[in-house]
Amino acid sequence: DTAVSQTPKYLVTQMGNDKSIKCEQNLGHDTMYWYKQDSKKFLKIMFSYNNKELIINETVPNRFSPKSPDKAHLNLHINSLELGDSAVYFCASSLAVSDSPLHFGNGTRLTVT
C-alpha cells in the first residue's frame, strides 16, 4: 500500500558513472517532484512535473535528467556523477494546487566515491 515508492533505497557508485533512481506513486496525483536533501538536512526542490510535463527546473545541472513516462512515474537519471551529488534524493507527489500537501517517498541515499 506504499503511496510513493522509490528505488533503490541505497546507491553507492563511483565518480563518472551514470545512475537512475525510479519513483512511482499510486495516489492518482497529477504532480510529482524530486527534492535533494544535503548532509545538513536542507531540502531543495530540483524538478516538478505535472501530467508528464516539466513545470519546475530549479537550475539543476543538465547532468540531471528527469523522465516522466506517465503521470504515476517520475524517474531521475544522473550522468557523470560527482562527489557533490552525494545526498538523499526524495520523490514526492501532490495534487496541483498550492495548498495540497506533498506525499514523500522514503528517499534514496546516493553516495559517490
Partner 1 sequence: GNSVTQMEGPVTLSEEAFLTINCTYTATGYPSLFWYVQYPGEGLQLLLKATKADDKGSNKGFEATYRKETTSFHLEKGSVQVSDSAVYFCALSPANQGGKLIFGQGTELSVKP
Assess 105 for contact with partner 1 (CB under 8 A): yes
CB count, 10 Å around CB of 28?
Answer: 9
Assess 55 for contact with partner 1 (CB under 8 A): yes
Assess 98 for contact with partner 1 (CB under 8 A): yes
- Report the distance separating Cα 45 and Cα 60, nearest Å: 9
Assess 14 for contact with partner 1 (CB under 8 A): no
Using CB under 8 A, which of the segments 13-21, 63-71, 72-80, 88-96 binds partner 1? 88-96
Decide whether 75 or 94 has the Cβ nearer to partner 1: 94
Assess 33 for contact with partner 1 (CB under 8 A): yes
Task: Answer whether 93's CB lies under 8 Å from 80's CB.
Answer: no
- Report the distance separating Cα 67 and Cα 60, nearest Å: 14
Of 51, 59, 57, 60, which is closest to residue 93 (Cα–Cα)?
51
Of 39, 45, 28, 57, which is closest to residue 90 (Cα–Cα)?
45
Query: Binding residue for partner 1 (CB under 8 A) from 21, 23, 87, 92?
Result: 92
Q: Which residues bind partner 1 (CB under 8 A)?
A: 4, 31, 33, 40-45, 48, 50, 55-56, 90, 92, 94-107
